[in-house]
Amino acid sequence: MARSKKDSRLYNKDFIDSCNNAVNGIVYSATTQTNIRKQIVLGVMVMILSLFYNFTTSEFLSLTIAIFFVIFAELINTAIETVVDLLVDVYHPKAKIAKDVAAGAVLLASINSIIVAYFLFFREAKLLELSNSIFKTMASSNAHLAMVGIILTMFAIIVVKAMTDGRNNFKNVEKHAHFIPSGQSAIAFALLTAIWINTKNLFVFCLSLTLAIMVAGNRVSTKRTFAETLFGAFMGVLVVTLVYGLTIVNM
């Protein structure tokens, strides 16, 4: 049976449309849920703090997983609460159970993040490492710096989208009624900047630049204006440059 035009809104047209809808869900949650905003702020602070520690790859992966796991649990909690509120408009014991269980998942994820933070940041050896490194040597791993820069770029895009678009993303508003920077362009040019700083290879840079421009061009030809795409690209370059610049200044 062919899908009606009305039902087609429930399905993603392609992979890019699927990614955009996923970002819209994160932006909506960040706009409407105070807890997610707090978690994003804490995530940014922890990522910046990690620059002052020489974490191993496994330690940095544990930290990143802990941060995203808390936000993931909060997103699931928001989705469950929304569905329950849609189906039940009066108090019901099972509706309360569903919400409480979802909140319990967030609590467990938060406890896990606290345990990870303790072992990574607050043990005596780690505090000594911080006191010896702060304002002298920051993270020496280029991969660490690159990942922190890209993660901070992602958080910055979510915050800016929440500020500029917010709840209007889920209302019947004109497509370009609000200035919404391109997240894909931001990530593409953040990667480009990290590649250039780490390799200093003109050939690799030109290949990366070509791919970044293709991503930006695709955004202009679809849903984003040139200004929105340019702003996103500038944001990606700026965040990664600041991360590496902060490291150079304090070495």
- 70-87: pLDDT as tens digits: 999 999 999 998 888 888
Domain boundary pick from 137, 152, 183:
137
Q: Is the pLDDT of residue 54 over 80?
A: no
CB-CB contact of 246 with 138 (8 Å): yes
Where is average pLDDT lowest: 39-53, 169-183, 231-245? 169-183
Question: What residues contact 76, with CB distance under 8 A and at least 6 apart?
Answer: 102, 105
Q: Summarize the confidence of residues 115-140 as an average pLDDT.
A: 63
**129 and 193 belong to one structural domain:** no
Residues 117 and 145 in one domain: no
pLDDT band at 137, cuts 50/70/90? very low
10 against 115, higher pLDDT: 115
Last residue of a domain, one of 116, 137, 158: 137
Q: pTM of this prediction? A: 0.69
Distance of CA 43 to the CA centre of its chain: 9
Contacts of 31 (CB under 8 A, 6+ apart): 162, 165, 166, 167
Please state the rounded mean pLDDT for residues 226-251. 78
Tell me the average pLDDT across 6-12.
Answer: 58
**Counted domains in the chain:** 2
CATH number at residue 125: 1.10.287.3610
Weakest mean pLDDT among 39-48, 100-109, 120-129: 120-129
Indicate which residues carry an active-site annotation: 74
Residue 221 pLDDT greater than 50, yes or no:
yes
Residue 251 has pLDDT above 70, yes or no: no
**Which of 53-62, 105-114, 227-236 shows the highest mean pLDDT?**
105-114
Is the model more confident about 34 or about 126? 34
Asked if 166 and 88 sit in the same domain, the reply is no
Mean pLDDT of the chain: 78
Q: Domain check: are 151 and 224 in the same one?
A: yes
Based on the fold, state whether residues 110 and 37 are members of the same structural domain.
yes
Same domain? 79 vs 127: yes
Residue 88 shares a structural domain with residue 175: no
Residue 20 lies in a domain: no
Q: Does residue 16 sit within a domain?
A: no
pLDDT at 173 (0 to 100): 45
Q: By residue range, what is the domain housing residue 86?
A: 31-137
Residue 31 has pLDDT above 90, yes or no: no
Whether residues 104 and 210 share a domain: the answer is no
Lowest mean pLDDT: which of 80-89, 94-103, 134-143, 212-221?
134-143
User: Which segments of the chain does DSSP mark as H helices, in order?
Assistant: 15-32, 34-50, 57-87, 93-117, 124-133, 142-164, 183-199, 202-221, 226-249
Q: Cα–Cα distance between 241 and 245 in angstroms, integer?
A: 6
Residue 125 lies in a domain: yes
Residues 124, 159 within the same domain: no
> Are 80 and 111 members of one domain?
yes
Burial environment of residue 20 by CB neighbours within 10 A (0 to 12, 13 to 18, 19 or more): middle
